[in-house]
Amino acid sequence: MSKPKLALYWAASCGGCEIAVLDIEEKILDVADFFDIVFWPVALDFKYKDVEAMPDKNIDLCLFNGSIRTSENEHLAHLLRKKSKVLVAFGSCAHEGCIPGLANLYKKEDILNFVYKESPSTINEAGIFPQTKFKVNGNEIDLPEFYESVKPLDEVVPVEYYIPGCPPQPPQILAVISLIIEGKPLPPPGSIVGAGEKTCCDECTRTREEKKIKKFYRPFEIVSKPDQCLLDQGILCMGPATRSGCGALCVSANMPCRGCYGAPPNSLDQGTKMISALSSVIDSQDPEEVERIINNIADLVGTLYRFSLPSSILKQKKILRSGQNASN
Amino acid sequence: MISVNIDGKEVQVPEDSSILKAAEKAGIWIPTMCYSELFEPYGVCRLCSVEVIRGRRSRVVTACNYPVREGLTVLTNSEKIQWIRKMIMEMMLSRWPNVGVVKDMATRLGVTKPRFESLEKDEDPNACILCGMCVNACKELVKAEVLGFAYRGIKREVVLPFDKKSAECIVCGACAHVCPTGHVKMIIEDYRGKKPEFTLGAKTAIYVPSMQAVPRVPVIDTESCIHFKTDGCETCSKVCEPQAINYKMEDEIIEFEVGQILVATGFDIFDATPMAQYGYGRYDNVYSSLEFEYLLNSTGPTGGKILLKNGKEPRAVGIIHCIGSRDTNHHPYCSRVCCMYALKFAHLIHDRTRAAIYQFYIDMRAFGKGYEEFYSRLLNEGITMIRGKAAEVVEASKSKEDEGKLLIRCEDTLIGKFREIPVDMVILCNAIEPRKDSDTVKKLFSMSKSPDGFFLERHPKLDPTSTMTDGILIAGCAQGPKDIPDTVAQASSAAARILSLIAKGEVEIDPICATVQEEFCSGCKICNNLCPYSAIEFLIDKNISHVNEVLCKGCGTCVAACPSGAMTGSGFTDKQIYAELEGLLEI
């Protein structure tokens, strides 16, 4: 019997997820042993045409990280969907858009304008902007198109599983892969795997009190007490509105949770839940003071939707999307 | 009992009696100047000297401290005694010729002019006669032992330790009270601003709070009572025949289990001291409404007479409305009762004095039954109504006779002129404001407050007596300023509601309530503080929150606040709402 086939791909991502895969340390050898890795652009020299040449459903497991920013990302998403039995949205970008998704606060033309023209370090006198077609030596080259917005993977193709996290934590990756290696029954499709069912607070060891917040601090503005809940101390910690699974890594390093594991199981939108929670615990009845306290929070959208803007109910600063790519 | 013969009269007296007591029983007067029943006889004035005859020998002794014996014969008015008394009085009179008690006693004993001049003559009418009453009161009664004698012979005097104000002195005033000449005086320093309530006069440490008090029994102000400071005094228990005074009684906290509570905690009156322009606390004759009400009361300090601080009747009285009410700097609301009690004041002043009365009002709000009629009646009584809020009250005295005269400055908006009205008494109509501890009470009963600070009713029109917490009802000024008829109506309605639930015997609970889906709760403690009904408890063992379904009213505050989605409104989960929306949009 031939080995099960594994593919890994990165779309619009930073590469951290790839490193997280390697962070499972010597266990990567077991993975290489058990699986036949058929596609992994970051590590192995397979070409797209190799994948295109495969019969459908040839890949047993595909870990797809990165969000859908360009037509190339989308093309590969469709291609890998076609060729894979199990497609996993791996990491926060594929799961819910993540940091690249914050670009949805700007229009495509504003982004291109800034990057190719207006940024102080750019000299572009000819006014050259990215093209989808380019002629060189009499040949025409197709280049990927930069989309209007960033989308998570499941808005482009159906996905079996999600592994959240920015990046997913190695023990969680290992746990999921072990499940397959050991041939244990898989959870129902559509599940979030490699994460907990509660919130980050469940894993946090700090002491929590009933909350009353008079002022929000950014982490550098205050020397926080190591045993006390960060939110109690006025540091905006996304822990209460974030799925557990990471082991409360950031808070154990004295930094507030940034929310990379996404919304907890029973919550539909991480940012709205958090803003609603925060506004409930502000310790003032005076509208002016409340406004002053709220204004303490730097970059509200970037804080509350740091990882989940494209998959949230906000999705984008202004809905620009045409019907073509909208999921059902 | 033993029998004694005094001036030929046989009397039966208890064994431990003094001659003075026995004489009193026999109806025989023996003059005294240093004797008081409150403490041990001192025997220093020697006026009570009497002749004691045993067999054929006679001796002169002091009656106040000489114990009786069986068969004792006493002469209180023999020639010898008369001579002694006169000599004592002559000596006293020559030393203190102007002291009232000395003069009175001398007259009574037939001494008009001493035969000799004292080298230590002291013509002060309040001179100290060295009777030692103050020293003994301080030592034996109060047990503070502050006052004492210093020096000897003719230089003897009563002093404080080291002749300085003593920290040991509890300022009880007992010394001043017993002093027969007025030599020891109480000087009340800073008498206003110190006491929160009526400060129109001193009162005793044991007193009946008001003549309308129920039950009408005295209470002891333990902060002022000598007994609670030095363990001494106990004068009140000595004089109380039924022995009803119990110093050991303490405040008790009694717990009752009840199903419904009517919160009728009332109001505070606005303290006008910060409104310096009206001089409350600075000028003697500027009164708050409640102080004036006390002054009017027949059980008050003046027995209901309207008098200035100097004891004279006022010639003109100004009543200033809306002190602290209808004022954006203090309370924007109308206190509702002031117009009418101001008119009542005016009516009573008119009734009891011949003073000219001026009312300074913004708007006259005579809205209740019979109120407008009362207002019209007052207008016919010759009260001057000035429409315009008084700007300030200033001192107007230019000469000594005018001392204490005040001037009210105001704009009369009806004639469009600035006016200055001289008065000698000013009554401020202070606003009704929420009690200072209303925040604590609010938290205790999980109530809310309206922006004015009074407790919030469930519905201003349809449900003005109940609160958002079931079983907690409100009535009276705790809910908002109102007059007596309104208070009675509201309180009766609240009582009826309470009874109706008691009669029913069971309580219905709304099906709408919040529940914690335990598998999703991580115990972040965001919700615990939010519940207006205190329905959320934290289960420490499970590290999750829990909703008490009986207390929960289904307001949804916690559901909105829950960041993890663990708190859900029964029947209103996000999924259900989304499903409803989807259903609607498909049509």
Look up the CATH number of the domain holding residue B420: 3.50.50.60
Note the maximum CA span of chain B.
Answer: 133
Same-domain check for residues B371 and B464: yes
Contacts 24+ apart (CB under 8 A), B39-48: B39/B136, B39/B137, B39/B139, B39/B140, B39/B141, B40/B65, B40/B136, B40/B140, B41/B65, B42/B131, B42/B132, B42/B136, B44/B130, B44/B131, B44/B132, B45/B88, B45/B131, B46/B84, B46/B88, B47/B85, B47/B88, B47/B89, B47/B105, B48/B20
Q: Decide if B406 is inside a domain.
A: yes
For residue B46, CA distances in Å to B63, B85, B249 come to 9, 8, 42
Q: Is residue B573 part of a domain?
A: yes
Question: B562 is in which domain, residue-wise?
Answer: 514-586
d(CA B114, CA B498): 81
Q: Check B526 against A211: CB less than 8 A apart.
A: yes
Other CB atoms within a 10 A radius of the CB of residue B152 amount to 7
pLDDT tens track for B383-409: 999 999 899 999 887 777 777 789 999
- For an interface test with A, give the residue of B526, B545, B568 to mutate (most A CBs within 10 A): B526
| DSSP one-letter code for A118 | I
Report yes or no: B203 at the A interface, CB cutoff 8 Å: no
Query: Are residue B277 and residue B418 in the same domain, yes or no?
Result: yes
Q: Which of B77, B102, B120 is the last residue of a domain?
A: B77
Q: Tell me, yes or no, whether B533 and B425 share the same domain.
A: no
* Same domain membership, residue B541 and residue B574: yes
B338-352 vs B371-380: helix crossing angle, rounded to 10: 40
The answer to whether residue B449 is domain-embedded is yes
User: Domain count of chain B?
Assistant: 4
**Cβ pair A198:B520 closer than 8 A:** yes
Classify residue B369: in a domain, yes or no: yes
Give residues 220 to 259 of A whose Cβ lies within 8 Å of B.
229, 231, 239-241, 244
* B contact residues 537-556, partner A, Cβ 8 Å cutoff: 543
CB < 8 Å to B572, chain A: none
Residues in chain B closer than 8 A to A211 (CB atoms):
525-526, 529
Say how many residues make up chain B. 587
Which of A206, A210, A242, A268 to probe by mutation at the B interface, max B CB count within 10 Å?
A210
A200 touches chain B (CB under 8 A): yes
Tell whether B138 and B207 lie within a shared domain.
Answer: yes
**A280 shares contact with chain B (CB less than 8 Å):** yes
Helical ranges in A191-232 per DSSP H = 200-203
Contact of B515 with chain A, judged by CB distance below 8 Å, is answered with no
Q: Are residues B521 and B472 in the same domain?
A: no
pLDDT for residue B189 is more than 80: no
Contact B315, B405 (CB under 8 A): no
Residue B472 near residue B445, CB atoms below 8 Å: yes
A244/B520 Cβ within 8 A: no
Is B445 among the domain residues?
yes
Residue that the structure tokens 């914690």 belong to: B516
> Closest residue of B to A213, CA-based?
B526
Q: Among residues A123, A113, A91, which one has the least CA distance to residue A19?
A: A91
Q: What is the pLDDT of residue B187?
A: 66
- Check whether B212 has a pLDDT greater than 80: no
Contacts of B560 in chain A (CB under 8 A): 276, 280
Distance (Å) from the C-alpha of residue A147 to the closest C-alpha of chain B?
A: 29
Looking at the fold, whether B389 and B274 belong to one and the same domain comes out as yes
Asked if B9 and B158 sit in the same domain, the reply is no
B-chain residue closest to A279, CA distance: B561
The answer to whether A59 and A39 are in contact (CB under 8 A) is yes
Decide: B178 and B36 in contact? Cβ < 8 Å.
yes
pLDDT number for residue B587: 64
Domain boundary among B11, B42, B77: B77
Examine the domain organization and report whether B393 and B425 are in the same domain. yes
Across chain B, mean pLDDT equals: 88
pLDDT score for B113: 86
* B481 shares a domain with B404: yes
How are the residues of chain A apportioned to helix, strand and coil, as percentages rounded to the nearest 5?
A: 35, 15, 50
The CA-atom distances, in angstroms, between B310 and each of A327, B187, B302, B313 are 91, 17, 12, 9
Contact B84/B75 with Cβ under 8 angstroms?
Answer: no
- Interaxial angle between packed helices B338-352 and B289-296, expressed in degrees from 0 to 180 and rounded to the nearest 10: 40
Query: What is the C-alpha to C-alpha distance for residues B346 and B341, in angstroms, rounded to an integer?
Result: 8
Nearest to B476 by CA among B336, B368, B320, B305: B336
Chain A residues touching residue B529 (CB < 8 angstroms): 210-212, 281
Contacts of A229 in chain B (CB under 8 A): 524-525
- Return the structure tokens found at A307: 């990882």
| CATH number of the domain bearing residue B60 | 3.10.20.740
Nearest Cα residue to A269 out of B578, B295, B266, B439: B578
DSSP string, B165-194: --TT-----HHHHH-SSS-S-----S-TTT
pLDDT, tens only, B431-469: 999 999 999 999 888 888 999 999 999 999 999 999 988
User: CATH topology for A5-99+149-181?
Assistant: Rossmann fold (3.40.50)
Q: Considering only the beta carbons, identify the residue of A244, A265, A277 that sits closest to B563.
A: A277
Classify residue B295: in a domain, yes or no.
no
Could you tell me where in chain A the CATH 3.40.50.700 domains are found?
5-99+149-181
Q: Is A70 on the interface with B (CB under 8 A)?
A: no
Phi, psi of B363 (to 5 degrees): -140, 145
CATH number (domain holding residue B538)? 3.30.70.20
d(CA B477, CA B268): 9
- CA B494 → CA A15, B504, B509, distances in Å? 69, 16, 20
- State the CB neighbour count (10 A cutoff) for residue A62: 25
Most confident of A231-240, B224-233, B293-302: A231-240
Q: ipTM above 0.90?
A: no
Query: Span B285-313, mean pLDDT?
Result: 85
Task: Give the pLDDT confidence of B80-124 residue by residue, as tens digits.
Answer: 999 999 999 999 999 999 999 999 999 998 888 888 888 888 889
Regarding whether B272 and B240 lie in a shared domain, the answer is no
- Distance of alpha carbon A279 from the chain centroid: 26
B306 found inside a domain: no
Is B194's pLDDT higher than 50? no
Helices A170-181 and A27-34: crossing angle, nearest 10°?
A: 30
Cβ neighbours of residue B30 under 8 Å, at least 6 residues apart?
A: B19, B20, B23, B24, B48, B50, B63, B76
Residue B188: predicted pLDDT: 57
Q: How far is CA A72 from CA A18, A215, B9, in A?
A: 19, 45, 135
With bands split at pLDDT 50, 70 and 90, how would you rate the model's confidence at A318? low
- B278, B238: one domain: no
